[in-house]
Structure 1
Amino acid sequence: MSDMSTELAVEKRHPIQVVAKRTGLTADVLRVWEKRYAVVEPGRSSGGHRLYSDRDVEHLGLLHRAVTAGRRISRVADLPVADLKALVRDDDDAAVERRREVEQTLSAAPTVHLAACLRAVEALDARGLEKSLMRAAVALSAPMLLEDVLGPLLQSIGESWEDGKLSPGQEHLATAVIRRVLESLANSAMPGADAPGLVVATPTGQIHEFGALFVSAAAATQGWRVTYLGTDLPATDIADVARGTSASAIAVSLVFPQDDPRVAEQLRQLRAEIGPAMPILAGGRAAESYREAIDASGSRIVSSLADLYATLASIEDSRVPV
């Protein structure tokens, strides 16, 4: 650098208004930083106004970028300019990487999100699974998230568990994370005061809750007021809650086992308790195994998410206005 350039770099010639525009800092912040952290030492004009050099402007601009990236001014105020430049460069690189990840997430097909979730389950990576599901939730609509990611993920986990390909640790890890995501979906819905009510549970002997949680989230995203009761619940208790909440329908999930003789009796008892008018929806991978019992109880098998949406819409349309 020439002597003239050096002289210009250190010459106190910029008023505070110019520095504020060049750095993005307000004049008030500049004064506070000078007083509290002595980040620069401005000169004074003949009239007593603050004046700053090119180096001051560069230093203040770097500090502003560091603080904007999330760093505390008290931690970076004393750093040499060279170290501050390196820190800001690292922050800029990280921001570029984050933007790239967001762009990839938003453009990724549902199958990409599903594959990432399955890899995380296999690797016992709870954080990775939750992160993958959150990315999918950002990129996809609620129906797409349920149908193209969570639904296939649940099916894959269920089949692997039955085949013995999934360890207890993998199954419990996936259960905990997916439960949180489904509960978040259900709880984020804001049904109206006059929304139809749906009671969701699994009957006695059915201890797998994913199907019931899935239905709860799906119904909630369609504007239903969902009451989720959990698993292994006697028919009398399900009926009591349905009456107590003035529900418009009941949904039961049948996943495993596929040959429990108690299911037929539970469905029969549930129908007897609530009467012939209230719809009972039965779904889950084991539902077809109980078709005879489902038909005998006047219930209806819901075989897909689209079928569930259509059935709920039909029930809602048939409600008697209050």
Structure 2
Amino acid sequence: MYSIKQVVEMLDIPSVTLRAWENRYQAVVPERTESGYRLYNQENIEDLRWLKEQTDKQGISISHAVRMLKKHKQKDLDERLSAAGGDPKDAMDKMKQQIYAALLEIQGERADALIDFGFSLYGYEAMVHQVLVPVLVKVGEAWEQGTATVAQEHYMTHMISSRLSQFLHVFPVYAHLPKVLAFCPAGEHHQIGLLLFSLFLRRNGVEVIYLGANTPEEGVMDMLVKQDRIGAVCLSVTNEDLVDYTEDLLGRLGSLYPEMQLIVGGRAYESSRSQDTRATYRMTEPPEQWQAWFDQEFTGIRPKNEQAH
């Protein structure tokens, strides 16, 4: 892994150019440390070297070069899958089965290796939505049907959640967008839906302050006082018994921060009894519709310190 300083020295690309290529065009997506520092792998280096050659020697714009690179990588992936004797869907189905079996048998290292390979092969979007999310669904079904124990379900869910959580620190943040405070209220221990929605926001450049499951109300209020630029609060609830408490909490948040946008979602809010909510947005649409909502609604939300009081 290489720091941004090392990449600048290796490739003779100014750091400001690197950041612009990443933020504007998603040329590469480096990993990040817990402190937020970029870390580039060898594939990132090769991609950046190729992009520099196209822009410097061939006179191609960076936006066009990035499109060319992504098209080339997709073609290469299709060829590798074809050479392996199957189409992409068959290969993904096989990977889902292998990851699920490894987790069910508590083979953490094998599951991690398979997940790493999947990300290198398919990339973030396909691996998350076409492999890991279906695995999580299968885990839940196995627990409900009694083919997986509570301990197995907890282990499998934790393993995948941990891998997904890493991406909360990877994607670039756009300063003009408001921050989002995301949590499950006290008593709610299922956070997968919240995590996926938070990752979606983060993928779109939103800085998400992710508090996770079973968050006490006082911790939420304290965070809202201490943090600037929070424009929205996002809650996820699967337990219908918590809807009344959640609505009371939304009412308190709305009174304290009348300009704050309140977003709720989760299985509990898909039922008819929770149609009427104090939230600004009730997110019950499937993930493929989130982008349309984001482009139409979220980009108009103002940060807390820019809102009228």
- Distance in 1 (alpha carbons) for counterparts of 2:85 and 2:245: 45
1:162: how far off? Answer: 4.0
Contact 1:216/1:226 (8 A) holds in 2: yes
Q: 1:249 is matched with which residue?
A: 232
Q: 1:148 is matched with which residue?
A: 130
SS at match of 2:198: helix
Which of 254, 276, 284 matches 1:271? 254
1:317: how far off? Answer: 2.8
Q: Deviations over 1:198-225 (max 9, x none)?
A: 1110012101222222222222122111
Note if 1:284 corresponds to 2:262.
Answer: no
Moved more, 153-162 or 226-235: 153-162
- The amino acid of 2:105's aligned partner reads A
Unaligned 5+ runs, structure 1:
1-99
Contact 1:200/1:215 (8 A) holds in 2: no
Superposition map of 1:87-126 within 5 A: 104=84, 108-109=88-89, 110-126=92-108
- Distance in 2 (alpha carbons) for counterparts of 1:302 and 1:240: 28
Backbone CA RMSD of aligned residues: 3.2
Q: Deviations over 1:134-168 (max 9, x none)?
A: 22212223232232222222222233334443213
1:186: how far off? Answer: 1.5
Contact 2:180/2:206 (8 A) holds in 1: yes
> TM-score scaled by structure 1?
0.59
1:105: how far off? Answer: 11
- Distance in 2 (alpha carbons) for counterparts of 1:293 and 1:233: 24
Q: 2:215 is matched with which residue?
A: 233
- Distance in 1 (alpha carbons) for counterparts of 2:247 and 2:118: 38
Q: Compared with structure 1, are the counterparts of its residues 115 and 286 closer, same or farther at alpha carbon in structure 2 (3 Å cutoff)?
A: farther
- Distance in 1 (alpha carbons) for counterparts of 2:168 and 2:138: 22
Q: 2:148 is matched with which residue?
A: 166
Q: Deviations over 1:13-43 (max 9, x none)?
A: xxxxxxxxxxxxxxxxxxxxxxxxxxxxxxx
Unaligned 5+ runs, structure 2:
1-79
Q: 2:40 is matched with which residue?
A: none
- Distance in 2 (alpha carbons) for counterparts of 1:315 and 1:136: 33
Contact 2:270/2:284 (8 A) holds in 1: no
Taking every aligned residue pair, what percent have the same amino acid on both sides? 22
- Distance in 1 (alpha carbons) for counterparts of 2:97 and 2:158: 19
Contact 2:81/2:88 (8 A) holds in 1: no
- Distance in 2 (alpha carbons) for counterparts of 1:271 and 1:218: 24
- The amino acid of 1:245's aligned partner reads D
Contact 1:120/1:129 (8 A) holds in 2: yes
Q: Which of the pair has the greater relative contact order for Cα pairs under 8 Å at 6+ separation?
A: 2
Which of 220, 232, 251 matches 2:202? 220
SS at match of 1:295: coil
Q: 1:82 is matched with which residue?
A: none
Q: 1:181 is matched with which residue?
A: 163
- Distance in 2 (alpha carbons) for counterparts of 1:115 and 1:227: 33
- Distance in 1 (alpha carbons) for counterparts of 2:87 and 2:223: 43
Which of 262, 283, 288 matches 1:306? 288
SS at match of 1:215: helix
- Distance in 1 (alpha carbons) for counterparts of 2:280 and 2:198: 22
SS at match of 2:209: strand
- The amino acid of 1:209's aligned partner reads Q
Contact 1:248/1:279 (8 A) holds in 2: yes
Q: Compared with structure 1, are the counterparts of its residues 212 and 113 closer, same or farther at alpha carbon in structure 2 (3 Å cutoff)?
A: same
Q: Deviations over 1:80-139 (max 9, x none)?
A: xxxxxxxxxxxxxxxxxxxx8997599643333322222222222222222222222122
Q: 1:135 is matched with which residue?
A: 117
Q: Compared with structure 1, are the counterparts of its residues 115 and 265 closer, same or farther at alpha carbon in structure 2 (3 Å cutoff)?
A: same
- Distance in 2 (alpha carbons) for counterparts of 1:182 and 1:136: 13
> TM-score scaled by structure 2?
0.61
Q: How many residue pairs were aligned? A: 222
- Distance in 1 (alpha carbons) for counterparts of 2:266 and 2:172: 26
